[in-house]
Amino acid sequence: MSKFVEDKGYNEDQLKVLSLLKGDEEVCLMAAPSFVVDFDYDSFVPLMKGLGFEYTTELTFGAKIVNQEYHRYIHENKDNQEKFICSVCPACVELVKAKYPEMEKYLLPFDSPMSAMAKVIDKNWPNQKNVFLAPCFAKKREAKKYPNLIHATITFSELKDIVSKEKPTPLKGSHLFDRFYNDYTKIYPLAGGLSATLHSKDILTKEEMVAKDGVKNLQKLFDKHSDKKFYDILFCNGGCIGGPGVASNKPIFVKRKRILSYRKGAKTEKIGKRKGLDKYTEGLDFSTEF
Ligand code: SF4
């Protein structure tokens, strides 16, 4: 790979990532699970290792943690709280706070999968730098809340640009992520993915739940004072697969298919220990304020 040169039209975030990769410390890439919309799963990890990342992981374990926290909180509070609004999408949190302040108290007070995962990585492998690969700019803003855990953030488009300019040679070896897997939450970035993986039968009825994506639909939902109890909301059309940091212009149904096939394929892989990961979260606090 060529030496990184600062005159290739890179923006500040791209330069930050490249400078981390050039530095002495090990760098871990944390990929949002929607990355398969823009990257080929089988070649992604070798390509990232060729670019200089020592470790690669994705956020599905973080999504599982968020689900567990949501489930517990709703179970404990369902009789005395009117509504619960998912807070995994920072643009939705911003929307609620700005346009529906009377609903702010219903935002579920927990980390997103990104920040939960950053805490897990920091606890278990503290001496490294972490780069988050994001589908949107709202996630970049959210990551700035954790400057000691997430040291740089780039979008899928920005990473594709780096790859096309630096032309890394893929490192020979496994195509599997290094750390933390969870299969069922691989559909988290899809509209309705969170409610589909919440195991909500014992805490909510189907009628009490609503899943909506796209800002116009969200506004309609809140403007008509919906009487639903649980709101699984994502700001972008189709969910994170429609994020503004995604490079692909393919239709949502094509992107959706890629996520579903990623999940299906991952189920058949021998990826080592999937159970017992809870020990990695011991002592961590995933609650937050907005
Ligand atoms: S729905 Fe859109 S804005 Fe929200 S986290 Fe996903 S990509 Fe970002």
Q: Does 81 reside within a domain?
A: yes
pLDDT at 216: 96
Kindly give the residue spans of alpha helices, DSSP state H, lying in the chain: 12-22, 41-51, 60-77, 90-99, 113-124, 137-143, 156-166, 193-196, 215-223, 252-267
Please check whether residue 57 lies inside any domain of the structure.
Answer: yes
Number of independent structural domains in the chain? 1
Q: 210-265 pLDDT, tens per residue?
A: 999 999 999 999 998 889 999 999 999 999 999 999 999 999 999 999 998 888 87
For ligand 1, whether the C-beta of 50 sits within 6 Å is no
Any atom of ligand 1 within 6 Å of the Cβ of 32? no
pLDDT given at position 182: 64
What's the chain's average pLDDT?
A: 90
124 CB-near residues (< 8 Å, 6+ apart):
280
Report whether pLDDT(47) > 60.
Answer: yes
> Which is it for strands 84-85 and 27-31: parallel, antiparallel or unpaired?
unpaired
Q: Burial of 5 by CB count in 10 Å (0-12 exposed, 13-18 middle, 19+ buried)?
A: exposed
Q: How far is the CA of 151 from the centre of ligand 1 (A)?
A: 20
Sequence-distant (≥ 6) Cβ neighbours of residue 12 within 8 angstroms:
none
Whether residue 281 lies inside any domain: the answer is no
Question: pTM higher than 0.85 for the full model?
Answer: yes
236 CA distance to ligand 1 centroid (A)? Answer: 6
Q: Per the domain annotation, does 41 fall within a domain?
A: yes
Tokens of 72: 């517990």
Phi, psi of 114 (to 5 degrees): -60, -50
Cα of 171 to ligand 1 centre, how many Å? 31
Angle at 133 between CA 189 and CA 10, to 5 degrees: 135
Q: Which domain holds residue 179?
A: 12-242+256-273
Distance 138 CA to ligand 1 centre (A): 7
Nearest to 189 by CA among 235, 248, 121, 250: 235
Here the CATH number for the domain that contains residue 47 is 3.40.50
pLDDT tens digits for range 77-116: 999 999 999 999 999 999 999 999 999 999 999 999 999 9
Q: 276 vs 149, which has greater pLDDT?
A: 149
The answer as to whether 220 is a domain residue is yes
Kindly state the DSSP code that residue 4 receives in the 8-state scheme: P
Q: Cβ distance 87 to 105 under 8 Å? A: no
Residue whose Cα lies nearest atom 5 of ligand 1: it is: 89
Question: How many angstroms separate the alpha carbon of residue 10 from the centre of ligand 1?
Answer: 23
Residue 23 lies in a domain: yes
C-beta 116 within 6 A of ligand 1? no
CA of 242 to the centre of ligand 1 (A): 8
Number of Cβ atoms within 10 Å of the Cβ of 176: 15
Name which of 159, 74, 68, 66 is nearest 117 in CA terms.
66
pLDDT for res 183: 65
Q: What ligand 1 atom has the least distance to the C-alpha of 239?
A: 1
**Interatomic CA distance for residues 135 and 240, integer angstroms:** 6
The pLDDT of residue 70: 96
In the chain, what is the greatest distance between 2 CA atoms, to the nearest angstrom? 60
Backbone angles phi, psi at 212, to 5 degrees: -140, 145
Q: Is 143 in the pocket of ligand 1 (CB under 6 A)?
A: no
Which atom from ligand 1 is nearest to the alpha carbon of 243? 7
Q: Residue 199 corresponds to which amino acid?
A: H
Determine the straight-line distance between the first and last CA of the chain, rounded to whole angstroms.
42
Total Cβ atoms within 10 A of residue 129: 18
Mean pLDDT in residue range 190-195: 89
136 touches ligand 1 (CB under 6 Å): yes
